Amino acid sequence: MIQFYKDPTGRLLEPTLFSEKAEKLAKEIHAAGLNDRQRLERNKRTQLRKFYDEVVRLNSIASNRTNAEAWDNIIPYVNMLIAKTAYAEGRKLVTGNFTAFMKDSIGQIRGREDLAVFTNLFEAFMGFYKQYDAS
């Protein structure tokens, strides 16, 4: 499980979150999607991109609003991404590794700042993922 913060109370980001941690996660999730012939069967980049795009959209909405009520209306949609990921896993489009990444990450989101961290982590992940999924 990836932790956003080295020190959650002090809100200090894990120093290698967007580098080493994101790359390791990309490698693991890519490997989990390979079939017996080493062809990508699940966790295809286009499928993961749909989730990434939704996270970016929600982050954009959250960062453009200032009051707490607006955040209270956005966080349910962020949490709904867990259900969407579970549905994609049930349809065999993504693996349990990707579902766990989404669930663990979304579970750490308490406010706008956390959503921004998750968005940046997901961006780094997608960059590294391209390296492993060169199709």
The mean per-residue pLDDT over the stretch 114-129 comes to 97
For 75-112, the pLDDT digits (tens) are 999 999 999 999 999 999 999 999 999 999 999 999 99
Q: Is the pLDDT of residue 31 over 80?
A: yes
Q: Please give the tally of structural domains in the chain.
A: 1
Q: Any idea what the Cα angle at residue 99 is, between residues 128 and 59, rounded to 5°?
A: 70
pLDDT tier, 116 (very low <50, low <70, confident <90, very high otherwise): very high
| Residue 29 placed within a domain | no
| Residue 90 placed within a domain | yes
Q: Domain limits at 102?
A: 49-135
For 18-29, the pLDDT digits (tens) are 999 999 999 999
| Residue 81 placed within a domain | yes
| Residue 116 placed within a domain | yes
| Residue 16 placed within a domain | no
**CA pair distance 85, 45, nearest whole angstrom:** 14
In percent, how much of the chain has pLDDT > 70? 98
| Residue 27 placed within a domain | no
